[in-house]
Amino acid sequence: MAEIGKDIKKSAALLTEGQLVAIPTETVYGLAGNALDENAVLQIFKAKNRPKFDPLIVHLPGIEQIHNYVEFIPDELKALAEAFWPGPLTLLLPKKSIIPDLVTSGLGKVGVRVPNHPLTRSLLDLVDFPLAAPSANPFGYISPTSASHVAHHLGDKLSYILDGGSCDVGLESTIVGMEQGQVIIYRLGGISVSEIEKLVGNVLILPQSSSNPQSPGMLKSHYAPRKPMVLGNLDELMQQYQNEKETLAVLSFKRFFPELKAANQIVLSESGDFDEAARNLFSAMRSLDDTAASIILAEELPEIHLGKAINDRLRRAAAK
């Protein structure tokens, strides 16, 4: 079982040796390896049981390093980087040959970002290579937002877990790129569409339903609990499943259902705060997945602020 601790120098040494280390970010915990070492990258895919057609995101210490790994950055995307880095923004850009094709699943573009967590930023300053780091969970399962989540599922598949506490954002990064002069959101995430449009104007949001994704996080079924999850109007679903109330679990935005077991329901934010709901989403899904319930009922949030990104995760969790 991997050791859990806060030793940045130990983490850097292990990564330099080609080993895997779980790292904290403001979004979710990442399973990190040297992005320039194909053997380390291959170990990431093996540890997660992740298909090699699903590309990885590369993490950099700062915007100053971006031109070491990408051919160019359009002005619109540079403006986003300057506004939101370090932070939950990934840019999809034409890669240089130094980035192995395994990282990008053979595609010509690589997703890069500058994470905003003090431990990981210090770690990136210690190593002389970028880190490839998808979420530190088995492929397709709920993303981890604490060191204990990582240890529970991947503790025997990596060398060290750098413990940075609970993730502040709790949703993966927003992935943005450009095609033919149009700014495109490939994955909704921790930065809202409205924040991006304030800087670059109208954007195109791609449907996340590809079996051969152009960027990370575009698979239709993803972030899913083991239990079946049904998404819809909770009042209607409760009526539909009224004969199974003893075996139901409920995930709601801000409502509590007194007729159900308290242990079998989680409210994402009693005050209706979208940031709080985002922070709580993945840990709530994990908790309900660990109950004795046989099915999880959930509702979508209003399509404003981070509601779009939260709903994206809920839809894909229920896609099975």
DSSP state of 221: S
187 is in an annotated binding site: yes
Q: Environment class of residue 262 by beta-carbon count within 10 Å: exposed (0-12), middle (13-18) or buried (19+)?
A: exposed
Instruction: Characterise 316 by phi-psi region: left (phi > 0), alpha (psi -120 to 50), beta (else).
Output: alpha
C-alpha closest to that of 99 among 58, 62, 64, 137: 58
What are phi and psi for residue 197, nearest 5 degrees?
-70, -25
226 is in an annotated binding site: no
133 is in an annotated binding site: yes
143 is in an annotated binding site: yes
Cis peptide before 24 (omega within 30 of 0): no
Which residues, 6 or more positions from 13, have their beta carbon under 8 angstroms from its beta carbon?
Answer: none
For residues 270 and 253, what is the distance between their CA atoms, to the nearest angstrom?
Answer: 7
What are the structure tokens assigned to 216, written together? 């990370």
For residues 260 and 293, what is the distance between their CA atoms, to the nearest angstrom?
Answer: 11
315 is in an annotated binding site: no
Instruction: Characterise 69 by phi-psi region: left (phi > 0), alpha (psi -120 to 50), beta (else).
Output: alpha
C-alpha distance from residue 224 to each of 14, 112, 282 (Å): 30, 25, 9
Known binding-site positions for L-threonine: 27, 113, 133, 173
Residues that constitute the known binding site: 27, 50, 59, 113, 133, 135, 143, 173, 187, 223
Binding residues for ATP: 50, 59, 135, 143, 187, 223
